[in-house]
Structure 1
């Protein structure tokens, strides 16, 4: 698994459990050692910070000495934070940044941890997008000086009704005007937000998917558990098995997107949708085309309705002419 730079810098103050063999924690002072992903700073406690490289690997056996212990039943190690955010997309990173900014204004040291299932920030953000810069300006009034990747202003808006053979121009709804907005790669924007978050000492655990919501003795959410890794197709541990960890927080924020698995667990447990309309979401398809330069007009935004969809289906398409 991959740890972000923030983790490598600050470590992960984890509490080892009885499932770990203390003998495996031989003195690491002054030399490179292979550690489990969840036990890195446990090894470093009481030692000087190592100047040599650390290879992240398994640090404990997947079997008890009698060979009968099921490693998937081992007690997880526990990481403590003030705020745990599940999802390293635009919402999760923006929340992490604002929390740290507010804490700094009050001279408080708030530990914020972001879990991101992708191997790196932005890996699961596939969409091109037209975004309004206002919210970004609230986070960073000097976003242009900081090099935010908002490179192509939206210059023209068009709305068209499609038939099988024709594209018919129709009036453009004012609500779909993109004047003042920017055509961006959302993946690039998210990567940039991740860099700004790390500068504020937000700890980003890239490559760690949330797999379970952890509840307290009163039924309250107290954190999440990350996924076990090293399981075969039958969910049996392989030699490379590593137990997930629990990350507890005073506040847990779910920012997984429109169809998050942990969010659904919380919604079902607390009956949050019993009196509400079901969430609507659809299947999106994205393609990036290279076209004749004579037909490319950077900054043009086109939305369509009609073909190939039936009249009873709420659907359409968009075309964004991005910067070369």
Structure 2
């Protein structure tokens, strides 16, 4: 495909996504009733997606403690999602900075930034409303995250976005269909899932185009970058402090979660579709396999 045809194809996709954004977007400040009471006894995530589900620690926890753990875990995931949304916005603005602002591609990137601003506010409001701390990533991941918009480029940049978005998307799709989950959490998930579908389409096509133009010399770096970024994303989802918040030994529970086959299986399940895509386009491979295994996205 010639460069002119590639640009035309990219513009056609962006035009379609801009139209979709105009037709179907949400304002969480208006579309969510933040004053509605939380429902006593309802979980905040499906029980089998809690990080300690199936462990000896889980068996010793009371039903109330399990619900409380799900509350703190959804707050941790939401605040990590917010952290990555901010990194995503920085990366998208980096792309816009060096693009023609009259192009539909740049304009859709700006539209996505606007979506992510609303999502970040929504996640912050959710954490506040359910009465949890904004856990965010652990300090080392937070500091390393500052480098991603600087060192990230090409298909690994968009691929990293996809890993974060699609892992979260699959967890949220399941939770929003579960009537045993708090209505507030289900509504937040529904808005995020519906709007992220456009972002996923945009990023997937950018990965395919980027891989087509990638030199063999650049491929190892792209594989290393996406694997390590993905590892930090999945390892950051549940902050160890959530366990202390529900009365457990922080370090013991954190070790139990990391070694828990059920939690590892949940992450592999959540990442099935994106990992199949990344493998198909050639972004999964050496020198990143060690990081992929530590991410639990690869067995």
Report the TM-score range of the alignment, normalised by the length of the smaller protein: under 0.3
| Greater percentage in strand | 1
The TM-score normalised by the length of structure 1 is 0.20
Between structure 1 and structure 2, the one with the greater Rg is 1
Q: TM (normalized to structure 2)?
A: 0.21
* Greater helix content: 2
